[in-house]
Amino acid sequence: MIVGGGRIAYYLAKFLEESGMRIKIIESSHERCLTLSELLPEALIIHGDGSDESLLYSENLQEMGAFVSLTGHDEDNLMLALLAKQAGVPKVIAKISRNNYVNLIKSLGIDSIVNPGQITTNLILMFVRGLKNALGNPIKSLYRIVNNQAEALEFTINEPAKFLGIPLKHLKISKDILVAVIVRKNEIIIPHGNDSIKRGDSVILIAKNRQIFDLNEIISTEGSVD
């Protein structure tokens, strides 16, 4: 049983279907249910409130082999995972977007948590580190991704630069460039507008349809917002 019918739920259900598993998805949006019914003809798509305990039990929650909560709200996902665990479901997985709950989750006995942002970060880091080590080359043009339409790159900030210490929201960043990850000592930062790049950081970018060799090419203070 999967609660939430977003993109992650779709790809998960598609993979599980191909593995021969029977899938039941509960989704609150009627329009999305219709879409999922077309995309996943072998899955049972139920239009309803996945946080409704009576609905879950009416759909035989206690008989499920696995339960995955994939709504857009961390709190709902955790509560649903706990409910499934109490119902005796042997494998329970919850999606979270923040790491605030990690220690709590470990103490509650939920089998697994999935953090899409952290998974993306880890994959980028794996590509970056793996290719750099294979080449033995400090240049950080590292891995082609998304059917060769984009590239993951890493730059280590060893030299002074005008953009250091300035929040990203105040910088002018070239089009089709995403500052995906900032690695600072043993800390991995998924940056937001208030985060800034500091000397010694490793910065991982995703660049679409362009080659980059210097961070100063695509990040500047010119035209920045004061």
What is the DSSP annotation of the chain? -EE--SHHHHHHHHHHHHTT---EEEES-HHHHHHHHHH-TTSEEEES-TT-HHHHHHTTGGG-SEEEE--S-HHHHHHHHHHHHHTT-SEEEEE-S-STTHHHHHHHT-SEEE-HHHHHHHHHHHHHHHHHHHHT----EEEEETTTTEEEEEEE--S--TTTTSBGGGSEE-TTEEEEEEEETTEEE---TT-B--TT-EEEEEEES---S-GGGTEESTT---
Q: What is the pLDDT of residues 166-187, one digit of tens each?
A: 999 998 888 888 888 898 887 8
Q: Can you tell me the mean pLDDT for 34-63?
A: 94
Q: What pLDDT, in 10s, does the model give residues 109-165?
A: 777 777 777 776 666 666 655 555 444 333 354 566 766 677 788 888 887 888 889
- How far lies 104's CA from each of 82, 100, 108, 187, in Å? 12, 8, 6, 21
Q: What pLDDT sits at residue 135?
A: 42
Neighbour count for residue 10 (Cβ, 10 Å): 19
**pTM of the predicted protein model:** 0.57
45-49, 73-77, 102-106: range with lowest mean pLDDT: 102-106
